[in-house]
Chains A and B, each alone.
Chain A
Amino acid sequence: MDAAVVRQALLIRRVEETLLELFSQGRLNGTVHTCIGQELSAVAFARALVEQDVVVSGHRCHGHFLALTGDLDGLLAEMLGKVTGVCGGIGSSQHLFHQGRFFSNGIQGGMVPVAAGLALARKLRGVPGIGVAFIGDGTLGQGILYETLNLVARWRIPLLIVCEDNRYAQSTPREATLAGTIEARPAAFGIETFVSDTWDWPRLDAQAARSVAHVRATGTPALHVVRTDRLAPHSKGDDTRDAAELDAARARDLLTAHARAHPEQHGQWRAAIDREIRDLLGRIAQEPVLMLEEYHRKPRVSPRLPARRPVLPSSERLVTRLNRCFAELLAEHPEVVLLGEDIVDPYGGAFKVTRGLATAHPDRVLATPISEAAITGLANGLALAGMRPIVEIMFGDFVTLAMDQLINHAAKFHRMYNGQIGCPLILRTPMGGYRGYGPTHSQTLDKFLLGIDTLRVVALNAFTDPAGLYRALLAPGQQDPAIVIENKTLYGARIGDFQEENFIVEETIEPFPLTHIRPLHSAPEVTLVAYGGIASIAAGVLGPLFEQHDLKAELLIPSLLCPLDPRAILEAVERSGSLFVVEEGSAFAAWGAELIATIQERLGRRRPFSAHRIAALPVPIPAPRDLERQVLVEARRIIRDVVAHRP
C-alpha cells in the first residue's frame, strides 16, 4: 500500500472515530453509520474515477464522500449541523451532496436507479463519465435493484454497482435473508461481475480499476462485490455480533496491520490527521446553524387576483393537443426525454398521447420495462443531471409503485441538498374511472400525491389548454418535481367546450390558470369547485340547477392543486357563503377536505359559510357501468346534494 492510500484510509477512519466520540458527547444530532473496516473500498474506487463520473451512496457514505471529494471541512460542518456543511446541515450523515458529483440518501437501494439516470444523461448527451452506486449486501433484498439491473443491462447504461458485502444488514446476518449467491444475480442479467476484498489491497486496487475501465470502455454496467468487515457497530452502540467473529475481523484489518508494522510512521500520520480534525472542529464550532427563516419562508402571495380572459372553445381534442404539445417540446428542448411503458410507435401509449413521437425522436422517447419504481428513479437521475424527463405511468393506479422515488427522492433532493441542485421530474398519469376498468384501473389516488411536501400537483381539465400547463412545468428554474393528473375521460374531450346560455367561461391569466364558469351578470348563490375530469360533470349541472332548481351556481376549476392558491375560491365563497367541492375520489383526507380547511382558516371568522363534499363512495370501484357511476359521482348526485344543502 502506498502512503497516500494508507493516509486516506486512516483519515476516513479517524474522522468516523471522531464522529462516534462527538456523538457520545452529545455534540452530534441524529445518527452515524461508520465504514470503519471498509475504508479501502472507498479509496480504491475513488482512485479509479475521473472528473465526469458520478457517485451515489447510502447510509454508510462518509468514506465514499471523503475519498471522492476530499471535502473534510464540509463533511464535519455538515455532521455538526452548521450552515457551512455540504448541505447546510440539513442532510447530515446520510444525505450528502457535492457539486453534482456525489449524492447520498438514506433509502436502501433507492439511489441505484438515480445513479443509472445520472449515467444515462451522460450517455444521451454524448459526454464521458460513468455512474457508480455503492450498496450493501443487505440491499440485495430490494426490488428496485433488480428493476435497475434489468434496465441498465438492456439499455446499456454505464453504471458500476459496488456491493460492499460485510455479511450483515444492521443486525441480520446475510445467510438469514439471502438466497443463492450474490454473483449469480448480475449474471442472470448478463452483467459483468467483479469480486475483490479489503484484505488484499493490490487485488482490490487492480479490480476496482478494471471494473471501472470495463464500464467506461464498453458503456455497459457491471457489478463489483467487495468482501469486507464492518468493525464498528451498525450505527452506535448497537452491535449484537459474536465477539470472536469481530476479533477475527480486526485481525485481518489492513490499517491495524499497518499500525503494527510501522508504529512510528502510523503514529505520526495519525497525529497529523487528528490535529487537522481538531483544528477544523474548533473552527466549525464557531459557525452558525441554519435559521428557520433561511430554511423555510412562507411563500408570498399577492393579494391581487390575476387578470382573466374568456375561454374560447377549440375544436381540438385534448389527446391531440397533448400529442402536438409533446412533439413541439421534444423539438424545442433537447433535454426533454419521454419515458414510459408502451409509449413508442406503432402503439403510441395506452391512451395514444405519444403516438408518432418515438418515430421522430427514437433516442428520447423510450419504452421502458414494467418497472414503475426504477423508471421514476432513472428519471430522477436524468433530472438531477439537468435533463427534463417526463415519465408516463400507464395508469394512475400504478403510481403507488413509484411512491418511494417521488417521496423520498424527487421531492427531497432540492431541499435536503440545501438548494444546490434541482430535480424537476415531471410524472404524468391517466387517472380516474367511468370506463369500467374496475378496482385497480379506475382509481383517483390524488390524495396520496397531494400530501407530498414540495411536490407540485397539476390536474388537466377540459377547459384549460394542457400545452400551457406543460410549458409552465418545463419553464427554466423549476427545482421540484411535479405530477400531472390526466383524467382518462378528458382525452376525447374538446377543450373549452361549454354551452349554457347566459353563462360565461373565463380563466385567470397565470401559468396554471383557474377556470371560472359563472352567470354572465348575476351574483352566484352557490359556489361549486371541481378539478380534473369531474369538472366537466360539474359544469353540466349548472344549467339544470338553474332551470329545475331555481339556483344560480358558479363553478371554479383550478388546474394547480398543490400548492393551493385559494384566492379566487375565497373570493367566490365570501360572496356566495356556500362551497360544494366535487371530487372523483373519496372525500376522506382528500383535496376537498384540504380546500375547505384552508377556506375556513382564511374566511371562517369573517364570513360563515356552509361547506360540503360531493365525492366517490369509499369502496373499490366496481366494473359494472351503472354501479360504477353510482359509486363515483354522477350529475344527479351533485344536483341532489347541492339542492339539499343550498343555503
Chain B
Amino acid sequence: MSTIQDILAPRLDVSSDALLVVAIHQPGGAAVGAGTPLLDLETYKAQVVVESPGEGFVEYLCQVGDQVPTGAVLARLHPQAGFTVEAERRLSAEVSPTPGVVQERMPSPVADAASPPVPETTPALAPRFSKAARQALKRHHLDPALFQDQDLVTLRDVQSRLPPPAVQTVAPTAGQRRVALRFPPLPAELQRRIDWQPLTQAKQLEIQALDQVQRGGQVSLVTTWVRMGTLRAHIARQSEWLPESLLPLVVFETARLLRRHPCLNGFLEGERIGLYRDIHIGIAVDMGQGLKVLTLPHADTLGFRELEQLLFQRIEGYLDRTLTPGELLGSTFTVTDLSGFGVGHIQPLVNAHQSAILGIAGEDPDLHRFQLSLAFDHRVTEGREAALFLQALRERLEGHGAGPETPDAATRPVCGVCLKTLPEDRAMQGHGLLQLVDSAGRESLICQVCLMGY
C-alpha cells in the first residue's frame, strides 16, 4: 500500500448523526493488519468496533470521549512507520459549537447565592470530598469552602455547582438588527433551588436519534383496545420462556402483519421513502441499565417459541451487559412494552430510520383489556394504513384469547384433587374416576384414592 488511507466514522443505520469514541485499541503509530480493531464507537443503542481495512501504521485523529459526526475521519493508515502527522486539528475541534452560536453565561447559582448566615449554634460541618470531587475542584479552580454546608461531596455535587449549560440564541445576521423577544428568566429564588445534572452522552445521543423523525413534526398516533379474554392463560400454556408476558405474542403477530404493511417498515430520507425488504423487530427495553433496543432479526420468519427464546436470550444479555452490537443494531420497526408499569396509554417516539413504533400499555384491571398504540411518521404512511394494521393486530391477538381457560380440563379426564389422569390411574390399579357433585352443585371427577384415602 503506498497511499494514505482515511478511516471514516461509519454510518450506523439508527443514529447517523453522532457517535461517541469510547475506546482506542492501538497505540498511535502502531503497525496494524486487516481486521485489527482500532477503536470502539457508541451510539445510544450500541457499540461498534472499527477495524482496520488493511495493513499500515495507524494515526488517530480522535480521542476517547470525542463525539464525532458520521463521515468524519477517525484515523489514517500510513504506508510507512514514522509518518509525519498531517492533521494537526483533532476531531474534537470539529465538533465544537457551530459558528454563529453565541454562548451566553448564566450567573452561577453558587456565586449568586447569598446564603443566610449560619446560626452560630450549629457547628460548621467539615465537608468530605471524594477523590473524584477533589480532582474536579482542582480542575475547575473551585473553592472547597463553597461546599461548607454539605456532608459528602461527590463529583456530581461539584458539577452541580458549575455554571449551567450554555443558552443558545441565534446571532443576528449582519445588517439586520432585531430586538430579541426574551422569555423572562427564572426568578433568582428558584434558580438557587436547582440541582443541575449533566446530560449523559448516552442521553444526548438518544435525543438526537429520536429527534430525526419527531423533528419532521408529522408523527401521528392511533390506538386500539385489545380484550384480554383468556389471552394470559393461552400465553401461559404456549410459552416456555416468558409465560407472563404479552410481549412475545404481540411481536410474533406484529412481525407477520408487517409483511402486509410495508410502509410501516420503512423510513423517509430526504425526498424519498425507503422500504426495508426484511423485518427486524427492535424491542425497546429499559430495565434499569439504560434504554436499549434489542434486535430480533427476521422476526417474521421465526416460530413463536423461537422468537420467544430469542427475546429471552436478548433480555438476559441486556441484564448481564453482554449484548454485542449485532444484537442491538439494525431494527426496522420498534415495539415498546410498558405493560409492566401499569400505564394505560403510551405515546411512543419513532426511532431514526424507521416509520412506526408500537406501544403496549398495561392491562386495565377492571375492564380486562389493554391498549396498543401505533405512532407513525405521516410523511411515510397515513392513518388508514396504521388503523388497518392495528385492527388486524387486535383481531389476531383476541383470537388467541378466545379459547377456554384450561382446554385440558375439558378434553382430558383427571382427578380434580390429585390431577391424576386415567392412564395414570390405570397404572396404579385404580378403578377409574368417579363423577362428583359437591354441595354447591359443582361437578368434578375424583379418583378412588382421593375419595377413600390411602
> How far, in whole Å, are A49 and B452 apart by their CA atoms in the complex?
37
Beta-carbon contact of B154 and A551 below 8 Å: yes
A-B contact count (CB 8 A): 65
Beta-carbon contact of B152 and A502 below 8 Å: yes
> How far, in whole Å, are A551 and B451 apart by their CA atoms in the complex?
63
Beta-carbon contact of A552 and B154 below 8 Å: yes
Q: Kindly identify, within residues 149 to 178 of chain B, every residue whose CB is under 8 Å from any CB belonging to chain A.
A: 150-152, 154-156
CB contact under 8 A between A550 and B132, given known A502-B125, A522-B150: yes
B355 CB to closest chain A CB, in angstroms? 29
* Stretch of A208-216, A224-232, A602-610 lying at the B interface: A602-610
Q: Kindly identify, within residues 124 to 155 of chain B, every residue whose CB is under 8 Å from any CB belonging to chain A.
A: 125-128, 130-133, 150-152, 154-155
Q: How many A residues have CB within 8 A of the partner chain?
A: 29
Q: Kindly identify, within residues 89 to 130 of chain B, every residue whose CB is under 8 Å from any CB belonging to chain A.
A: 125-128, 130
Beta-carbon contact of B133 and A550 below 8 Å: yes
Which single member of A30, A548, A608 contacts B341 (CB below 8 Å)?
Answer: A608
Beta-carbon contact of A610 and B127 below 8 Å: no
> How far, in whole Å, are A610 and B453 apart by their CA atoms in the complex?
49
Beta-carbon contact of B154 and A521 below 8 Å: no
Beta-carbon contact of B152 and A522 below 8 Å: yes
* Stretch of A58-66, A234-242, A316-324, A391-399 lying at the B interface: A234-242
> How far, in whole Å, are A226 and B453 apart by their CA atoms in the complex?
29
The answer to whether B454 has its CB under 8 Å from any CB of chain A is yes
Beta-carbon contact of B454 and A550 below 8 Å: no
A203 CB to closest chain B CB, in angstroms? 36
The answer to whether A155 has its CB under 8 Å from any CB of chain B is no
Beta-carbon contact of A519 and B152 below 8 Å: yes
Beta-carbon contact of A520 and B125 below 8 Å: yes
The answer to whether A194 has its CB under 8 Å from any CB of chain B is no
Beta-carbon contact of A502 and B342 below 8 Å: no
Q: How many B residues have CB within 8 A of the partner chain?
A: 24
Beta-carbon contact of A235 and B454 below 8 Å: yes
Contacts of B130 in A (CB 8 A): 546-551
> How far, in whole Å, are A23 and B289 apart by their CA atoms in the complex?
59
Contacts of A609 in B (CB 8 A): 288
A579 CB to closest chain B CB, in angstroms? 11
A544 CB to closest chain B CB, in angstroms? 10
> How far, in whole Å, are A548 and B132 apart by their CA atoms in the complex?
7
> How far, in whole Å, are A265 and B125 apart by their CA atoms in the complex?
97
The answer to whether A598 has its CB under 8 Å from any CB of chain B is no
Q: Give the nearest-CB partner of B448 in chain A.
A: A237
Which single member of B128, B154, B341 contacts A501 (CB below 8 Å)?
Answer: B128
A117 CB to closest chain B CB, in angstroms? 33
Considering residues B127, B130, B154, B453, which has the most beta carbons from chain A within 10 angstroms of its beta carbon?
A: B453
Which single member of A31, A548, A608 contacts B453 (CB below 8 Å)?
Answer: A31
B307 CB to closest chain A CB, in angstroms? 25
Q: Give the nearest-CB partner of B156 in chain A.
A: A550
B346 CB to closest chain A CB, in angstroms? 15
The answer to whether A26 has its CB under 8 Å from any CB of chain B is yes
CB contact under 8 A between A550 and B155, given known A235-B454, A610-B289, A647-B288: yes
Interface of B is mostly: loop
- B190-218 interface bits toward A, Cβ cutoff 8 Å, 1 = contact, 0 = none: 00000000000000000000000000000
Beta-carbon contact of B131 and A548 below 8 Å: yes
> How far, in whole Å, are A142 and B150 apart by their CA atoms in the complex?
66
Contacts of B131 in A (CB 8 A): 547-548, 550
CB contact under 8 A between A236 and B453, given known A519-B152, A552-B152, A605-B342: yes
> How far, in whole Å, are A547 and B341 apart by their CA atoms in the complex?
36
> How far, in whole Å, are A608 and B155 apart by their CA atoms in the complex?
25
Which single member of B125, B132, B289, B452 contacts A237 (CB below 8 Å)?
Answer: B452
Contacts of B126 in A (CB 8 A): 501-502
> How far, in whole Å, are A408 and B355 apart by their CA atoms in the complex?
63
Q: Kindly identify, within residues 261 to 288 of chain B, every residue whose CB is under 8 Å from any CB belonging to chain A.
A: 287-288
A520 CB to closest chain B CB, in angstroms? 4
- B6-28 interface bits toward A, Cβ cutoff 8 Å, 1 = contact, 0 = none: 00000000000000000000000
Beta-carbon contact of B454 and A502 below 8 Å: no
- A552-587 interface bits toward B, Cβ cutoff 8 Å, 1 = contact, 0 = none: 100000000000000000000000000000000000
Beta-carbon contact of A608 and B151 below 8 Å: no
Q: Give the nearest-CB partner of A500 in chain B.
A: B128
Beta-carbon contact of B128 and A23 below 8 Å: no
Q: Give the nearest-CB partner of B342 in chain A.
A: A605
> How far, in whole Å, are A605 and B154 apart by their CA atoms in the complex?
30
> How far, in whole Å, are A609 and B154 apart by their CA atoms in the complex?
22
Beta-carbon contact of A608 and B154 below 8 Å: no
Q: Give the nearest-CB partner of A578 in chain B.
A: B288
Q: Give the nearest-CB partner of A604 in chain B.
A: B340
Contacts of A522 in B (CB 8 A): 150-152
Contacts of A520 in B (CB 8 A): 125, 151-152
Which single member of A23, A31, A236, A521 contacts B150 (CB below 8 Å)?
Answer: A521
Beta-carbon contact of A546 and B154 below 8 Å: yes
Beta-carbon contact of A546 and B152 below 8 Å: yes
A1 CB to closest chain B CB, in angstroms? 33
CB contact under 8 A between A236 and B125, given known A546-B152, A548-B131, A552-B154: no
Can you report 16 A-B residue pairs in the complex whose CB atoms are below 8 A from each other? A23-B453, A30-B453, A31-B453, A238-B453, A522-B150, A522-B151, A522-B152, A546-B152, A547-B130, A549-B130, A550-B130, A550-B131, A550-B154, A552-B152, A552-B154, A608-B341
**B interface residues with partner A (beta carbon < 8 Å):** 125-128, 130-133, 150-152, 154-156, 287-289, 340-342, 451-454
With A521-B125, A546-B152 given, name 7 new contacts (CB 8 A).
A23-B453, A501-B128, A546-B154, A547-B128, A548-B130, A551-B154, A608-B288
The 8 tightest CB contacts between A and B, nearest first, are A610-B288, A520-B151, A502-B151, A550-B132, A550-B130, A605-B342, A550-B154, A521-B151
